[in-house]
Structure 1
Amino acid sequence: MDLVELLQQAQRLTNETKIDTEVPGVERTMSQVLQATQEFHSRVTQTGTNDLQAHILLGSKGVDLPKLTQKLETLSARQSFEPLDPVTDTDVHGYLKNERENAILSVIDETNRSIFESVERQKWRCVYSEWGEEKESLLNALVGPNQQDFPDVQRQMVPTAMADEPTPYSRLNVHQQLYAEQITIYNESHIQGIQRPNLVSTFAHLAREFFDDDLVAEMWNVLESMSAVTPLSRSIDPIKNRQTAPHFVHQARTYLEGRYKTYMKQFIDTNLILARLGGIPNVYHLVRSYVAVTFQRPQSLYGLLDVNNGRPLWPLVYYSMRSGDMDAAAMYLKESGTCPDLLKLMTLRKNGEAGTSMAKLEGQLKLEFNNKLHDCTDPYKKAVYVILLACDPHFTHVELMRSIDDFLWMQLSILRRQDQRDYNIEQLTYSGLQSLILEKYGENYFNAREKAPLYFQVLALTGQFEAAIEFLARTEKNRAHAVHMAIALNEISMLGAPRSVKQPLLSSEPEDPTPMKRLNLVRLIVMYAKCFEQTDTKQALQYYYLLRHFKSEDGTNAMLTCVCDMLVENCSDPMLELVFGVEDVEKSFRYTGGIFAEFHTLDCDKYSLAAMVGDELSKRSNYESAIKLYFIAGQLGKALRLLCSLLVQVVHQPPQSESMRERLGVVIERLDAALPERKTEVEMHVILTYTVLTQVMEFFDLYHAGGSRLALKILAINRLIPVSSSEVDECVTNLKRMGPEIIKVLPDILLAAMDIVYQGYVKLKGSSDTGSVFDDETKSENKEAAIRHLRDRAKALTNMAASVPYRMPSTTNQRLVQLEILMH
């Protein structure tokens, strides 16, 4: 487009814009245009002036206004718990967000409501309790001592009788007491050296006869069946033996097969007309009658193959195997004339033969199973092949699995040992089955919280005794059964225990096969016996006796450790007498009786136990109780050391009834009677310290009783304080030869001696004559000479306080100097 064309187009546009009116065109000046613009702007921007001003301001500063608007829209002013806006079904993100926040809000609301209700209940409970107490006090105040004031109120005296020494109530329930009686009988048999009973069988019989709980009896029946194998020695690890020995798999199958036979008999007894049970009472006729009742309807035969005498063949074979009778299963196959190879394999299995011919036969049958029977419509036929060939472990057999027993029996039937596995196909091993039950399915699958006995049976039947017992011990209801199951298995060397008694209740060693665990029997028994060891001490010691073979980290017998901890927690005189007996009158430091003496087969006697408890009490600074235990142990040296440590703390105190000082006085009398006979067993410096402290104790007794003369005489005899300034060095030297216990009580001795001297000075100054209580010591009848003697004695005490190699308390020095100054 050139300039001419542009000009023409401009003129054309100008002509089009001209309005065809008679009004002449008006040309506005610049001021008129500005005024019109302002008027138009004012009309347009009557609302939103602030927003426009803000946009003008931010735009002039270079702010990107559209981007800022987008950021502001994404911001949320605050998080609030307001009702959420509904979203459409297609907005998945919004829907999930709303659901999540609604769930959180509902939890918060429910928690607030429950807290409010709990507080409300607690408030009314307190109100009712207070009103009850007030009502009781008012009712008690109604009936006064005078019966005539209330003639209608009848008083009846209720005779009561209480033993002079009431025994504490036992914390053992009926089941626990029955268990404890059997444990006592078992331990007595071991101590007397006679044949011990099998605890598993004993407890199983106890549960069947005396426990009114079929589930507990069933658990003991499972354990009794699984433990009915050749006992092991304690040198063999039960965990490794359990994984390699086929006995446990056989015992589990036998138990499940026996239980299924019982079920079939009960089922037939309820349908005797249809069953038509007859012939020799064996599994063959039992299965025949059971199948006749189960498959009486035509629709129940749908999909089943082969018929024998009007009955489906493969259910007969399967239920015969399910009942544990391979002969009956082979007889049914033989009568039908079908599958001769399978019959031959069954015969070889029954006879226990193995070799190349059997492996070849298995290979042929596995090939036939994979080609023809993998999709077979008869579940019983397929199950028979799977069991005999141990193949296809992941097939569920839904039609046949009516209970957990059926599932377990099927899994146990297709197991193969690690050395018997065919690596060309997938097969199930014992450890694989255990992992399947414990780890893959676990407690949630079996609803173990509500069906604890069922989960225990599943674990026990798969050889996981430790995990089963640990699970059972979690609840208070089943803990007693779990503890005694662990004890019974440990006594026949079938319980896997950790190397250290400090391990958790359930643990595993690095070399243990997966998923086997080890149960800490020591921790389990201690946890159980702690609940009643203070009320049923004799029974608790019977349980601790079962731990005699376990050793702690320092090599100490676990039984001694448990008994020691029990006595440390309660070392009262009745408890010590119960455990150690009473002191023999004829033989000093010998004790007769006591329940610990019953365990005379232990390497440790009651005196070693007493010394062990005394050492532990001494570590915990319970010196009074430790002294009593050292007396029982006959260790006078340790008793004297602890006694000296206690005397230092209380020797200066005035005598008070039932105080530590009074109790230590009784101990001192007992020691004084025993020391002449066993003085050679105690070190000389310990005897010297003990002798001086007892003299100091006698000094303070006289001091507090007002016997000043005799008190000072005791100090002079033992050369503890000087009589004059010339004896200060001698007393300091004598003090250095004594133990540190004497140094600790020296400040109290000096203060008491200074107080006696000062009281004598005051009395002498206030008297009219020259006589005083110190006339025989000063050898002077002159009052001034006596006063000078007392002043010299006070100065000697002050000098000694400054000369001893021990920093005296500042208050002691101040008091000594103050009293000396008051005497001048």
Structure 2
Amino acid sequence: MAATSAQLPVAGNPTASASASALDELLEQSKRLLYELKQPVLPQLHFSLEQIDVQAQSMANKAAQARDGDTKAHYLLANSGMNAEETAQVLRTIALQSTYDSGPPISDTDVDGYLRYRREQSIMAAMEQDMARRSREFDLFLEKNLNAEWEKQKQKFFEHFGFLKSTQDQQSSQQSLDKSVFGKSHFRKSTFGKSVFGRDDTFRQSQTQASSPNIHRQTRYGQVVKLLQIKRIEKKPMPVMSAFGEAIKSLGSDIKSQQLFDSWRILSSIVGESGVLNGQFTRDVIKERQFAIHYAAVSSESKEGVFVRTRITDGSRRYLENQFFAHVETEVARNPQDANIGGVPSIQNKALGYLKVRFYRNHTWENPNLEIVNNIPIWALLFYLFRSGYLTEAVQYAQTHESSIIRLERHFVSYLKAYATSSERRLPRQLRDRLHSEYSQRIRFTQDPFKTALYKIIGRCDLSKRNLGDVCPTTEDWMWLQLILCREASNDEISGEEFGLVNLQNTIMSFGAKHFNQKGNNPVIYFQLLLLCGLFERGVNYLLNWNNTDAVHFAVGLCYHGLLRVPSIKEVSEDSLLTTKPLKSGNEEAFINFARLLGSYIQEFMRAEPEMALDYICLICLNGDLPSPKGTEQRNLCHEMIRELALETREFSALLGDVKADGRKEIGAIQKRVKLIGLEDHADYLRTITEQAARQADLDGRTSDAVLLYHLSEDYDTVATIINKSLGDAINDPSSRLFQTPMLSNDTSIALAAEQSPAQLARNMMQVYSANARIYSRVSQVNRDACQTLLKMVEARTSFEAQQWENCLHILDALELIPLDKELNVGKVKKKVQLFSSLPEYIASNIPIMLSMAMNCLLAIHTQLKESPFGDVSRINKMGELRKMARCAMMFAGMIQYRMSSETFGELNRLDVMF
């Protein structure tokens, strides 16, 4: 069997060698291929940028040469149908610009530095914007206020002297009290002076304040306030509302004065000032702050709150009833024939006469809807008895004509009796249900509006509709209807029948002033409505827009009786005198900044009438009986304003009293009213008023005022300290004039003495103190010695200014403060340096001046001797002594040179060289 076998290659076989070579070449190609695949797409650069640029320029030049001389290419392109020249022109028009794609920017990783840079840039930009804004605001403020202030002052000046007619009842301009309760003041950080209570505190002042009629009004009101304070000091009650009412009544009988008088009568009716004759209570005395506790709870459902709300409601209704009956009597008296009341002018007959005047013509009742019984509109008559407040007379009339009324309405008389006999004017539940049933079924559809009104009032029916235009056409009638329907809620009150004083207040506030004064010419109407419904704070604030003088005194009267809420420091508004606080019930409680109100008011006359201004300020302490912290805040504010009044007016003798040169004291107006401002005794008065005012005057640099005030506060050692400081400063001031004064007489006022120059003041006060052993003993020995030393310095300076060189040197040597020895003794000089270090500042600060005076005196005397034509030995010896004295003084000056200015030390060296 034949077998085929492969033959193995053997060495030296040529075929085998060629195969191996082919395999090696294939291997090498595969490696090269793998290497090329791993290389990047872009080729590597083996030249630098400069070399590449040179090569590119060279290639471009060769290409240009080839393009110009290559004719063969032209023929070749022409044969192909291409125009080479046109193509070249087209190509030359193409702008081939080399593009450069910048790589990504290198990121800055210093985040903190970047943020710091941005923050600084932001701050700088904000500062530049703020500076530009403030500059614009300042320019606008300057342009606006300079002109406005000048116009305002000019207007007040002209109105004050009667050159212009006052413009009453115009909207008032607002004044900012950003510095204190008085506006411009030293108490810039007053508790209530931010506007006491920042900026702003604004006080709206009408344009009529500087007019002559208003000054007369202020005077009349001021007399009442003065009398009130006298009564308070005597602890006697005073009918304040009646007194203010009489004051306004005496000013005139015009409509607005009458309206304001009626407003005072409203408050008199509310507080109960009914029995008043010649300014005295004849019965039912109303004490000071009688309603303060109750009014503090007026918004609550406590017994106190219900009491004061009922008091306001009843008092307001009673006023409107009295006012209406006075109108009835006036109409009856004006039309006696139409009224025809007969011979008995009873209440019923007057009411019937009024009905005849209104509705009876030609023996016929004009209104066909009236139900007539025996030729009398019985429902109308009963209604007007109600409207006049004569409920008892209405019951009597109904009982007299009960048979006739029963035929019309069977149960009406029983309703009327139950209503009249109830102290709260409530019907028993059974009668009330029956009346409501009758009202809803029949009465509300009746034609006689007076019958509907009577049922509505007695049963308080359908309280969602409280407007009876047919029988209550005027604002006063409408308000009376609201008040007679008002009743504080009780436990048995049916849902839907709740209508009390708070609801009425919300109704009045929702209507607003324009609803009742659409033409804007009678603002007092809305003010009266606010008083009638017990919104006293809002009433005062509203009246401020029209007449701040009357508004202030309404606030005074209300505050006297405790019917005005004042805010605490936390509740004060910087923009308005009125602040409000929300209650849990959803209503608001209003407050009036009484202190700022008074402080703003007295600005106009406090310098001319400081005692009258003081009487007003003392009224702030009426609120001192409020619970803490309000009571304490009000007392502190009163004391602060009193101190401010003294410093602003500088009427120290009138306000704080005076002390004669012989020590006799005169009591001031403040001390007479010490019980009115919550201070217990004389020591408390000195500590709270006089001493604090003295400190403020001292801080303000008002030396003479501070001296007087500290003297009045009996702090005599502090008086000496202030005098010494002032005298030391005066000696140090080259421009000051230091005079000597004659001795004071015993009757000389300390207040007058305090008005003198520092040297005069020091000499006179020391004279007074030396004459009184008790006062002199309370001045420290240090201050007494210092004052004598300073007065000697004054003498030395006076002699120096008079060029009395020898006398000046004698005084300086006698002071023993600077060494002026004729023998150069270093030990003595060092002792003077030690003494200098222990001197009070107001003496030590004047030593350089004394040195300068001494050197000038020595040089002047030395120059006189040097220029003398005589050459005797004594003159030469004297000149030598002067040089030694000068060297001694300069040695002393060198040891204390760091306690004097370089200019003074330089001057001393210059003087020393001239010897």
2:472 corresponds in structure 1 to 401
Change (3 A) 1:502 1:576: farther
In structure 2, C-alpha distance between the alignment counterparts of 1:170 and 1:310, rounded to whole Å: 57
Does the Cα contact within 8 Å between 1:204 and 1:217 map onto a contact in 2? yes
Does the Cα contact within 8 Å between 1:637 and 1:681 map onto a contact in 2? yes
Task: Tell me the CA shift for residue 321 of structure 1.
Answer: 2.0
Q: Is structure 2 residue 268 aligned with structure 1 residue 224?
A: yes
In structure 2, C-alpha distance between the alignment counterparts of 1:355 and 1:782, rounded to whole Å: 117
In structure 2, C-alpha distance between the alignment counterparts of 1:219 and 1:247, rounded to whole Å: 17
Q: Is structure 2 residue 295 aligned with structure 1 residue 244?
A: no
Task: Tell me the CA shift for residue 546 of structure 1.
Answer: 3.6
1:330-345 matches, within 5 Å, as 330=395, 331-332=397-398, 334=402, 335-337=404-406, 338-345=408-415
Change (3 A) 1:170 1:369: closer
Q: Is structure 2 residue 225 aligned with structure 1 residue 183?
A: yes
Q: Is structure 2 residue 764 aligned with structure 1 residue 670?
A: yes
2:694 corresponds in structure 1 to 614
Q: Is structure 2 residue 524 aligned with structure 1 residue 457?
A: no
Work out the percentage of aligned pairs sharing the same amino acid: 19
The correspondence for 1:492, drawn from 549, 561, 566, is 561
In structure 2, C-alpha distance between the alignment counterparts of 1:657 and 1:712, rounded to whole Å: 19
Please state whether the residue corresponding to 1:626 is helix, strand or coil. helix
1:181-580 matches, within 5 Å, as 181-192=223-234, 195-208=236-249, 211-212=252-253, 213-228=257-272, 231=286, 233=290, 236-241=293-298, 243-245=305-307, 246-278=310-342, 280-296=344-360, 301-302=367-368, 304=369, 306-327=371-392, 329-330=394-395, 331-332=397-398, 334=402, 335-337=404-406, 338-352=408-422, 358-374=428-444, 377-395=447-465, 396-419=467-490, 422-425=493-496, 427-442=498-513, 445-447=516-518, 450-475=521-546, 478-499=547-568, 505-508=577-580, 514-550=587-623, 559-571=638-650, 575-580=651-656
Q: Is structure 2 residue 696 aligned with structure 1 residue 624?
A: no
Q: Deviations over 1:688-741 (max 9, x none)?
A: 433332222222112112222332233333332223461332221101111122
Equivalent AA in structure 2 for residue 668 of structure 1? A
Is 741-750 or 349-358 further displaced after alignment? 349-358
Equivalent AA in structure 1 for residue 462 of structure 2? D
Q: Deviations over 1:79-101 (max 9, x none)?
A: xxxxxxxxxxxxxxxxxxxxxxx
Gaps of 5+ in 2: 1-143, 155-210, 274-283, 299-303, 625-630, 741-753
1:723-762 matches, within 5 Å, as 723=820, 724=824, 726=826, 727-762=828-863
In structure 2, C-alpha distance between the alignment counterparts of 1:750 and 1:673, rounded to whole Å: 29
1:138 corresponds in structure 2 to none
Task: Tell me the CA shift for residue 623 of structure 1.
Answer: 1.3
In structure 1, C-alpha distance between the alignment counterparts of 2:503 and 2:496, rounded to whole Å: 15
In structure 2, C-alpha distance between the alignment counterparts of 1:734 and 1:518, rounded to whole Å: 63
Equivalent AA in structure 2 for residue 462 of structure 1? C
In structure 2, C-alpha distance between the alignment counterparts of 1:350 and 1:550, rounded to whole Å: 39
The correspondence for 1:592, drawn from 666, 675, 681, is 666
The correspondence for 2:680, drawn from 600, 603, 620, is 603
In structure 1, C-alpha distance between the alignment counterparts of 2:549 and 2:382, rounded to whole Å: 43
2:279 corresponds in structure 1 to none
Task: Tell me the CA shift for residue 349 of structure 1.
Answer: 1.3
Equivalent AA in structure 1 for residue 590 of structure 2? K
Equivalent AA in structure 1 for residue 659 of structure 2? E
Task: Tell me the CA shift for residue 439 of structure 1.
Answer: 4.3
Q: Deviations over 1:414-438 (max 9, x none)?
A: 1121336735325322111112213
Equivalent AA in structure 1 for residue 529 of structure 2? V
* Structure with bigger RCO (C-alpha 8 Å, 6+ apart): 2
Q: Deviations over 1:524-550 (max 9, x none)?
A: 333333322222233333334444445
Does the Cα contact within 8 Å between 2:568 and 2:633 map onto a contact in 1? no
Does the Cα contact within 8 Å between 2:738 and 2:798 map onto a contact in 1? no
Q: Deviations over 1:749-769 (max 9, x none)?
A: 222222222223323332344
In structure 2, C-alpha distance between the alignment counterparts of 1:821 and 1:356, rounded to whole Å: 110
1:645-660 matches, within 5 Å, as 645-652=725-732, 653=734, 656=737
1:703 corresponds in structure 2 to 800
Equivalent AA in structure 2 for residue 197 of structure 1? M
2:8 corresponds in structure 1 to none
Does the Cα contact within 8 Å between 1:507 and 1:517 map onto a contact in 2? yes
For the aligned residues, what is the CA RMSD? 3.9
Change (3 A) 1:366 1:554: closer
2:788 corresponds in structure 1 to 691
Please state whether the residue corresponding to 1:301 is helix, strand or coil. coil
Please state whether the residue corresponding to 1:418 is helix, strand or coil. coil
2:80 corresponds in structure 1 to none
Does the Cα contact within 8 Å between 2:405 and 2:413 map onto a contact in 1? no
Does the Cα contact within 8 Å between 2:812 and 2:818 map onto a contact in 1? yes
Change (3 A) 1:712 1:234: farther
Task: Tell me the CA shift for residue 226 of structure 1.
Answer: 1.8
1:764-779 matches, within 5 Å, as 764-769=865-870
1:819 corresponds in structure 2 to 911
In structure 1, C-alpha distance between the alignment counterparts of 2:370 and 2:756, rounded to whole Å: 97
CA radius of gyration, larger in: 2
Q: Deviations over 1:165-206 (max 9, x none)?
A: xxxx9998444333333433343344345x343222233344
Change (3 A) 1:425 1:610: closer
In structure 2, C-alpha distance between the alignment counterparts of 1:750 and 1:708, rounded to whole Å: 13
Change (3 A) 1:256 1:766: same
Please state whether the residue corresponding to 1:398 is helix, strand or coil. coil
1:115-194 matches, within 5 Å, as 173-192=215-234
Please state whether the residue corresponding to 2:846 is helix, strand or coil. helix
Change (3 A) 1:569 1:353: closer
In structure 1, C-alpha distance between the alignment counterparts of 2:657 and 2:426, rounded to whole Å: 72
1:94-105 matches, within 5 Å, as none
Task: Tell me the CA shift for residue 497 of structure 1.
Answer: 3.4
Equivalent AA in structure 1 for residue 316 of structure 2? A
Change (3 A) 1:720 1:628: same
Q: Deviations over 1:87-127 (max 9, x none)?
A: xxxxxxxxxxxxxxxxxxxxxxxxxxxx9xx9xxx9xx9xx
In structure 1, C-alpha distance between the alignment counterparts of 2:503 and 2:694, rounded to whole Å: 52
In structure 2, C-alpha distance between the alignment counterparts of 1:179 and 1:402, rounded to whole Å: 36
Q: Is structure 2 residue 777 aligned with structure 1 residue 680?
A: yes
Please state whether the residue corresponding to 2:646 is helix, strand or coil. helix
Does the Cα contact within 8 Å between 1:498 and 1:509 map onto a contact in 2? no
Q: Deviations over 1:645-699 (max 9, x none)?
A: 2223221437748899971222122233234433432334433433332222222
Gaps of 5+ in 1: 1-114, 126-168, 772-779
1:136 corresponds in structure 2 to none
Return the TM-score normalized by structure 1.
0.69
The correspondence for 1:721, drawn from 785, 794, 818, is 818
Task: Tell me the CA shift for residue 456 of structure 1.
Answer: 2.4
In structure 2, C-alpha distance between the alignment counterparts of 1:390 and 1:662, rounded to whole Å: 77
Equivalent AA in structure 1 for residue 553 of structure 2? H
Equivalent AA in structure 1 for residue 579 of structure 2? S
1:66 corresponds in structure 2 to none
1:93 corresponds in structure 2 to none
Does the Cα contact within 8 Å between 1:715 and 1:721 map onto a contact in 2? yes
Please state whether the residue corresponding to 1:518 is helix, strand or coil. strand
Does the Cα contact within 8 Å between 1:655 and 1:662 map onto a contact in 2? no
Change (3 A) 1:353 1:452: closer
Does the Cα contact within 8 Å between 2:582 and 2:588 map onto a contact in 1? no
